Structure 1
Amino acid sequence: MTQQSVAALEEWSGREELAEAMIPLIGRLYRKNNVVTSIYGRKLINKSAIDILKAHRIARHVDGAELPLEETFPLLQALVGLNLGAVSADLARLVRKFRQQPGGTELSAFLKEEFGAKVGAAGATDAEPTDVVLYGFGRIGRLLARILIERGGYGLRLRAIVVRNGGANDLVKRASLLRRDSVHGPFDGSITVDEENNTILANGTLIQVIYSNDPSTVDYTAYGIANAIVVDNTGRWRDREGLSQHLQSRGVARVLLTAPGKGDLKNIVHGINHADITAEDTIVSAASCTTNAITPVLKALNDEFGVSHGHVETVHSFTNDQNLIDNFHKGDRRGRSAALNMVITETGAAKAVSKALPEFEGKLTGNAIRVPTPDVSMAILNLNLERETTKEELNTYLRQASLTSPLHKQIDYIDSPEVVSTDFIGSRRAGIVDGLATIATGKNAVVYVWYDNEFGYSCQVVRVIEEMAGTHPRAYPSVEESAPVEINA
C-alpha cells in the first residue's frame, strides 16, 4: 500500500472507532433518559457506526462540510451528564448553535441554558405513555408494529393486534410474517411466540393477539389496556359510522384510520395540518400514502412560488387489492394481472390534498398507473406556478426545505443520476424529490417525487399517533426557531 492509502485507512479507522464509542452514549440517552438523538432529522438510535458516519456526512449539504465527530462526541458526553428529561436533540443543530456562541463559552453551560428545565429531569416525559392497538395486521399493520417495537415503548406502547382467526397455526404464521418480509427484509431483533397465551414477544415488547370479527365487542381492559388509540389498517370502514364501532369497545379512547377518510373525518397529513387535531377528535384519518407524499412538497412550492393549477400523475406499485393473475374484480381494470401489466386507475389523492391544504381546492387533477413493482411509487407534479423560476432555484429551495425547514421530516431530496425505485425502500420521509428530473420553464414546473408507499407512509402514521397521544418529545433546538440556512451548492 502507498503511504497515502495507509493514511486514508488510518483516518477512516479512527473516525469509525469514534463512531463506535458514540453508540453506547446514544443508547444510554435513549433508554435511561428518553432522549432521541439525530443529525438534521436523521435519527441515530439503534444505528451502526457506518450509519452514524453517513449521518455526519449529510451535514455537508447544509454546512458545506461533514459534521466533525470531534464536536459531536463531547456533545454526547455532556448530554449524558445532564441527566435530561425526554427530549429530541439534534446534534448538528446544537453544534451549529454552539459555534455561534461568544468565545470562551463552555459547552456544559451552553447546554444547560439550551435545555433549561429538562436538565436533571431524569427521563421524565411531558405526557403519560399511550397504549396502541393495531386493528388488522397486513402490510401497513406489520410495518407500524416494526416501528413501534423499534421505539421500545417510550411514549407509545404497542399492546395488542386484533385479527380474524385464520385457523391452525394462525399465531405462528402472523409472527412469521412479522419476522420476514420480502420487501423490507428481516425483523431486526428477536421474536418469541406463546401460543398458550396468544402473545408475541418482540424485542421485549409483549403484544397480545386478539381474535375478533367485530370491532365493537372487544374488551381491551381484560388485557390491562386502557384509553388506547386503535389504529384501523383494514380499510374496511372509512366513515365515522363504521369506525365508531371501535369506540364501543371497553378500553378505547380514539381511533386512527390508515386510509383516506370519508364524510366529515379530518384527513391529517403530518407536517401540514396535524395541529388541527383536538382533544374532541375521537376519530381521524391519516389520509393516503400518495397524499402524504405530495402535500408537503406542494405546500413548500406554493409558499415560495404559488401554484395556480396542476396535475398529479402517480406511478404506483401494485397492492393487495389487485389480482395476481387475470380474474374478476369489481373495479375497472384492476382484475387484470398486477404482476404483468401497467394498469390505469383512479386516485383521489389530488382532490384529497385540499382536505389538508384548503388553498388547493379545485386546483389539482390526478390519475394513477399501477405498475408491476411491490413497493416504492412516484408522483409526477406538473404545476403552473404564479411566478417564474428556474430548475436551479426550485431545486435549491426544495433541498433547503428537506434539511432545515419544519417539513424536514416529510421531504427528502436527492440528485444522484443512478437512483431507481428500490433505493428508496425503507425511507422514513413521506416523499423524496428527485432533483435531476426536475423541469422548470418560466411558470411551468414538473417535479418528480419518489415515496415508499408502505414504510414512508407508516412513519407518517406513527407521527400522527404521537400527535393524538401528545407524546412526541420537544425538539432542541427548535427548527422553527433556527435562523434560515444558505444551502451550499
Structure 2
Amino acid sequence: MNQQFEQQLQSSWQERQDYAERMQPIIGNLYRNHAVEITVYGRTLLNASAIDVIKAHRSVRLFEGEKLKLRESWPVLEAISQMKLSPCEVDIGKLAFAFHYGAAKDQTDLVAYLRSVLVDVVDQNDSQEPKDVVLYGFGRIGRLLARLMIERQGKANKLRLRAIVVRGGREGDLEKRASLLRRDSVHGPFNGSITVDTERNAIKANGSYIQVIYANHPSEVDYTQYGINNAIVVDNTGMWRDEEGLSQHLKAKGAAKVLLTAPGKGAIKNIVHGVNHRDIVDSDIILSAASCTTNAITPVLKAIDEAYGIENGHVETVHSFTNDQHLIDNYHKADRRGRAAPLNMVITETGAAKAVAKAYPQLEGKLTGNAIRVPTPNVSMAILNLNLKVELDKETINQFLQQTSLFSKLLHQIDYTASKEIVSTDLVGARAAAIVDSQATIVAGNRATLYVWYDNEFGYSCQVMRVVRDMAGVSIPCIPL
C-alpha cells in the first residue's frame, strides 16, 4: 500500500512537471513576440521555472478552496497561443477555474468561451510603438528598474532601456557598474547574461544594448547622438525634486518626459499606480512616482476607505535602513540618522501619511505618521491603525482584502498572505506594492489595525515601471479582473 501510494505521488508530480515544462516555451513566445503576459491568480509566469509554475497553480487552492490542475489550465494556454491577441495580461488560472468550476462551467466550447472573454484584445492589431527609456542614476532603484526592463526584452517589448547616465568615468567604472547589475546581495544574481563593451561604453544584457553615458549634469547630455529620441528619463538620484530642477532633463536633446522616483514637491503630480494613475495625461512631462511607503499604504487605505470609510488613523512604518543612513556613527544633518544603521532602531520622520492625500485626496488631514528604521537591508512594514465609520470583525475585513487582491483593479498593488510563519526575508522580490498580513489583523468594533508588508526596493520599482508604461501610452489590459 505504501509503495503504491508513493508511485501515485511520484506519477502525479511527474505529470505536473511535464505540463509546466510544456508551458514554459509557450509563455515565453507569447510575451517575446506578442507582448502577451501569462499569469495565474496575479502571479506572473514570465521567466518562471517549472517549479514556480507548479507553485502558482497550487496557490489557487488557498483562494478558491479547490485545486487547479495544470492539465486544466494547459488547454487554455494552448488555445490562447493559437489566437492573435494585442498586448495584454491574461490570467489562465482564473479562466481555467471559471471554465471548470466557476461561472462558465456549463460551457463546453473552450475556444468560444475564451474568445468571448478576450473579445477586446482578440484579432486586434498592435499599433503601440516602443518607447525609449533612460535611467538617470544607477543606484538601488535604478538597477532594479534595469532588471525589470531587461527581463521583458523581446521584439514586442514596448519599453526599451536605451541608456543609463552616471557620474564618474574613472578606469574600471564600467566593469563595476556591470558587476553591481550582475550581483545583488539582497535580490540575488541577475537572471541572464551580462557583458561589457568597453570600446563603446555599453552594457549588453540578454540582448539589450544599454549605452552608459557619463555626465555630471543633464545639460551635458545629447541622447540623440546615441539614436535615442523622445525618451522618458527616470531620475532615481533624488537630486532634484521640484519642477525647476527636474525640468533640466528636458533641455537634453532626445528627452521628452521625466519621472522622479521620490516624492515630488510643489505642483508635481505624485502618482501611485492603481490609485490615481488615470490622472496622467499626455501633456504631463514631469511626474513623481511618490515614495515606496506611499505606494504601499495608499492602495490599501483607498480600498478600506471606499468599503468602510476611514474617520482617521495613524501610520507607523518599520522601515529597512537606506543609503541615507551611516554604517557607523557619523555626522548627519537629520536627528538620529547619524547613528549606525546596522546596530540601531532609529526613530525618524516619514511624510508618507501626509503624502497619501496627494494621490487620494479623500484622506486629506485624516492621517498622522512616524517611522522606525531597523537593521534590515530590505522589506519594510506599515502598521495602519484606523478608526472606521462602521463596526466589523477580523474575518470580514480579511475576506474583503483577499478578494480585493484577486479580483479588483488593485490586484497588482495589493497582495495577501494567510501564512502564520511569514517573515520579512520571505517577501524579497515581491512585485505587489503591499502584502496584507491577514494573521496579524486586529479588529475591535470600529477600530482596525492592519499590518502591511512591502519590498521597499523591488515592489516599489514595479510600481515605478507601471507609471513609466502609462507615461509611454502603453495600454496593457488585464483579463479577467
Same fold (TM over 0.5): yes
Shift of 1:79: 1.2
Alignment map for 1:166-245 (pairs within 5 Å): 166-245=169-248
Instruction: Kindly indicate whether the alpha-carbon contact (under 8 Å) linking 1:426 and 1:456 is maintained by their aligned counterparts in 2.
Output: yes
Task: State the AA in 2 paired with 1:63.
Answer: E
What is the letter of the counterpart of residue 69 of structure 1? Answer: L
Task: State the Cα distance separating 1:58 from its structure 2 match.
Answer: 2.1
**Equivalent position of 1:292 in the other structure:** 295
Residue 440 of structure 1 and its aligned partner are, at CA, apart by: 0.3
Is 2:45 the counterpart of 1:44? Answer: yes
Q: Match of 1:409, SS? A: coil
Q: How does 1:37-116 map to 2 (within 5 A)?
A: 37-99=38-100, 100-101=103-104, 103=106, 105-116=108-119
Deviation string 1:410-442 (CA, Å, 9 cap, x unpaired) is 111112121111011000010111111111000
1:306 to 2:322 alignment: no
Partner amino acid, structure 1, of 2:354:
K
Instruction: Please say if 1:467 is aligned against 2:435.
Output: no
1:272-309 deviations in Å (ceiling 9; x for gaps)? 00000011110000000000000011111111111101
Q: Distance in 1 between matches of 2:438 and 2:109?
A: 41
Q: Does structure 2 retain, via aligned residues, the 8 Å contact 1:86–1:126?
A: no
Question: CA 1:10–1:331 in 2, change beyond 3 Å: closer, same or farther?
Answer: same
Residue 328 of structure 1, aligned match among 328, 331, 339? 331
Among 433, 436, 442, the residue aligned to 1:433: 436
Aligned to 1:252: 255
Partner of 1:159 in structure 2? Answer: 162
- What secondary structure does 1:387 align onto? coil
> Is contact 1:217–1:248 with CA below 8 Å preserved after alignment?
no
| 1:376 aligned residue | 379
* 1:352 aligns to 2:355 (yes or no): yes
C-alpha displacement of 1:6? 1.8
Aligned partner of residue 23 in structure 1, secondary structure: helix
Matched positions, count: 476
% of aligned pairs identical?
62
Deviation at 1:92, TM superposition (A): 2.2
CA displacement, residues 15-58 of structure 1 (integer Å, 9 cap, x when unaligned): 11111111111112112222111112111111111111111122
Moved more, 360-369 or 296-305: 296-305
SS state at 1:388 partner? coil
- Structure 2 CA distance for aligned equivalents of residues 437 and 109 of structure 1: 44
- Cα distance in 2 for residues equivalent to 1:102 and 1:42: 23
Bigger drift between 100-109 and 408-417 goes to 100-109
Structure-2 separation of matches of 1:472 and 1:110: 23
Provide the C-alpha distance between the structure 2 equivalents of 1:437 and 1:240, rounded to a whole number of angstroms. 41
1:25 matched to 2:2? The reply is: no
Name structure 2 gaps, 5 residues minimum: none
User: 1:93 is aligned with what amino acid?
Assistant: K
Structure-2-length-normalised TM-score: 0.96
Cα 1:352–1:117, aligned 2, differ >3 Å: closer, same or farther? closer
2:178 partner amino acid:
A
- What amino acid is the match of 2:146? A
In 1, the alpha carbon distance for the partners of 2:96 and 2:116 equals 14
Instruction: Tell me what 1:388 maps to.
Output: 391
Q: Aligned residue for 2:145?
A: 144
Q: Could you tell me how far apart the structure 2 residues matched to 1:186 and 1:205 are?
A: 17
Q: In the alignment, residue 441 of structure 1 is paired with which amino acid?
A: A
The residue type equivalent to 1:184 in the other structure is H
1:458 to 450, 456, 461: 461
Say whether 1:278 aligns with 2:255.
Answer: no
TM-score (norm 1): 0.95
**Displacement of 1:119:** 3.6
Matched, 1:399 2:381: no
**1:84 counterpart SS class:** coil
Bigger RCO of structures 1 and 2 (CA < 8 A, at least 6 apart): 1
SS of 1:246's equivalent in the other structure is helix
Q: 1:150 to 1:168 in 2, by over 3 A?
A: same
Q: 1:326-366 CA deviation, whole Å, 9 max, x = no partner? A: 11111111111111111111100000000001011000000
In structure 2, what is the equivalent of residue 487 of structure 1?
none
| Partner AA of 1:327 in structure 2 | N
Say whether the 8 Å CA contact 2:169–2:214 is kept in structure 1: no
Q: Is the 8 A contact 2:32 2:152 kept in 1?
A: no
In 2, distance between residues paired with 1:464 and 1:311? 27
Kindly tell me: are residues 115 and 415 of structure 1, through their superposed partners in 2, closer, same or farther at Cα, counting changes over 3 Å?
Answer: closer
**Contact kept in structure 2, 1:323 and 1:336, CA below 8 Å:** yes
Give the alignment partner of residue 345 of structure 2, picking from 333, 339, 342.
Answer: 342
Quick check: 2:242–2:265 contact (8 Å CA) kept in 1?
A: yes
